[in-house]
Amino acid sequence: HLQESGPGLLKPSETLSVTCIVSDDSSSHINYYWAWIRQSPGKGLEWIGSLYFGESPRYNPSLKSRVTLSEVTSKKQISLRMTSVTASDTGVYYCARHPSFGATGEGFDYWGQGTHVSVSS
Amino acid sequence: SYDLTQPPSVSVSPGQTATITCSGDTLGSKYVSWYQQKPGQSPVLVIFLDTKRPSGIPERFSGSNSAITATLTISGTQALDEADYFCQAWDGRTYVFGTGTKLTVL
């Protein structure tokens, strides 16, 4: 079970912070990649970046300059920070699990319910 | 940037076969996954590695991938299959999602 949380409403130029908590009874979360993916009416689904506990995050090059992914292993928590938001950053932000990274083709097999983010003045 | 193009909408009668395509340059050389998304819900993985179904996905869902087109086929389509469907691949730098297809079961 993945549960995202976020601020809901932001103003342009502010910093977005959203968090995902992985709820399970094991430590299996350290064996998977955890991605942030957003969905907006204008851009559809967009991969933001992925994180593997203990490794450097991987980012979408188009967002890399504004995005930071981080983890708190003991809390099974993955966080996304995005600076200088604009209206085009409005959408639903999902965290999702994937077993491996890159061209391996295994897909995103578990998704959270998503957290709605709206950027408006 | 790498683009994956899907038809905006596909309609099918109950019990018939629905075919949803996803086109991209040299797509056949990449692995494709497919997701189902119902209104107000998160996407659900229905096909990965071009042709494989995750546990719990009905056998009526199948996939193929060749040349520049990947295809999601739903045999014996049911009303509960009405949803948006997205394809996804890795382009070497990013995970890319298709434009999405709304499947209507009439």
Question: What is the average per-residue pLDDT within B79-93?
Answer: 97
Greatest CA separation found in chain A? 43
Chain-centre distance of CA A79, in angstroms? 7
Which string of b and e fits B3-33 if b means at least 16 CB within 10 Å? ebebeeebebeeeeebebbbbbeebeebbbb
- Over residues A90-119, the pLDDT tens digits come to 999 999 999 989 988 899 999 999 999 999
Q: How confident is the model at residue A8 (pLDDT cuts 50, 70, 90)?
A: very high
Q: What is the pLDDT of residue A27?
A: 66
B2 inside 8 A of chain A by CB: no
Mean pLDDT is lowest, of A15-29, B20-34, B40-54, for A15-29
Query: Contact B42/A113, CB-based, under 8 Å?
Result: yes
**Residue carrying structure tokens 């504004």:** A66
DSSP strands (E only) in B6-94: 9-12, 18-23, 32-37, 44-47, 61-66, 69-74, 83-90
Q: How confident is the model at residue B85 (pLDDT cuts 50, 70, 90)?
A: very high
Q: How confident is the model at residue B52 (pLDDT cuts 50, 70, 90)?
A: very high
B31 CB neighbours in chain A (<8 A) are 103-105
- Over residues A39-94, the pLDDT tens digits come to 998 778 999 999 998 889 999 999 999 999 998 877 789 999 999 999 999 999 99
- Residue B3 to residue B97: CA distance in whole angstroms: 8
Q: Say if CB A118 and CB A8 are below 8 A apart.
A: yes
- Over residues B87-101, the pLDDT tens digits come to 999 999 999 999 999
Q: What is the pLDDT of residue A43?
A: 78
User: How many residue contacts between A and B have a Cβ separation below 8 Å?
Assistant: 63
Q: Identify which of A102, A104, A107 has the shortest CB distance to residue B45.
A: A107
A91 inside 8 A of chain B by CB: no
Looking at per-residue pLDDT, the higher value among A71 and B56 belongs to B56
Q: Which two tokens stand for residue A20?
A: 């995902």
The pair phi, psi for residue B74, each rounded to 5°, is -120, 110
DSSP strands (E only) in chain A: 2-5, 9-10, 16-22, 33-40, 44-52, 58-59, 67-72, 77-82, 91-98, 110-111, 115-119
What's chain A's average pLDDT? 92
Question: What is the average per-residue pLDDT within B8-36?
Answer: 97
**Is the pLDDT reported for residue B7 higher than 70?**
yes
Query: Contact B42/A114, CB-based, under 8 Å?
Result: yes
From residue A56, alpha-carbon distances to A11, A21, A68, B90 in Å are 29, 19, 10, 19
Q: Which two tokens stand for residue A26?
A: 């094991």
B43 CB neighbours in chain A (<8 A) are 45, 94, 108, 111
Q: Say if CB A2 and CB A110 are below 8 A apart.
A: yes
Question: What is the average per-residue pLDDT within A28-46?
Answer: 88
Query: Contact B93/A104, CB-based, under 8 Å?
Result: no
